[in-house]
Amino acid sequence: MSKYVKDLVSSYVAARVEGVQDALLVDMVGMTANETNVLRGELEEKGVSLMVIKNTLARRALKDTTLAPLFSTIGGSAALCWGCEDIVSLTKVVCTLADDKRFKDKFVVKCGVMDNDRMEADMVKQVSTWPSRTEQLSLLMGQILGPGSNLAAALLGPGSTVAGQIASKGEGEE
């Protein structure tokens, strides 16, 4: 491949992943065309982008980005996955598909990058067990609203009992 073509491909790759902070690198060696199409369709449904790229071209295109640590020790071709609302959701989607019997041993997580730090495959699996951003926000809201609802129930409970007793006494006298 000529230097001009390499520069074109590098600029295309850099433009495509511009603004991406977190991503995963997966191996897709051994997958048939049909399996790849099914996998790409499932990833697309879940908001995950997938780009297969040669390691040297990716290293060249992403050398000044937050994704550079992904390609520091990887050789050969690889597929770059990014998307979802956060890295936890991305790891959940990718790890679920990697464990799917249709793609087992053909779709393998190699590594990832989160907050400019490289994660090895075992760390990616560990991150996939964390609560996602949405789950974390719902837990936080429950913790914020929980004491207030308990206090409201404590204040309203005796008052409603007294009001019920007064109402029953008032109905009984007529």
The pLDDT tens digits for 65-120 are 888 888 877 777 789 999 888 899 999 999 999 998 888 888 899 899 988 888 99
pLDDT tens digits for range 151-163: 777 767 776 777 7
Global confidence as pTM: 0.73
Cα separation of 47 and 111, whole Å? 20
- Rounded CA-CA distance 144/6 in Å is 53
Using only C-alpha atoms, the chain has a radius of gyration, in whole angstroms, of 26
Average pLDDT over residues 122-149: 85
Predicted pLDDT at 174: 53
Q: Which tens digit of pLDDT belongs to each residue from 14-29? A: 888 888 889 999 998 8
Q: Which fold has domain 3-130?
A: Alpha-Beta Plaits (3.30.70)
Cβ contacts of 12 within 8 Å, gap of 6 or more: 61
pLDDT tens digits, 28-74: 888 889 999 999 999 999 999 999 988 888 888 888 888 888 887 77
Domain boundaries, the chain: 3-130, 131-174
Contact 16, 65 (CB under 8 A): no
How many CB atoms sit inside 10 A of residue 3's CB?
7
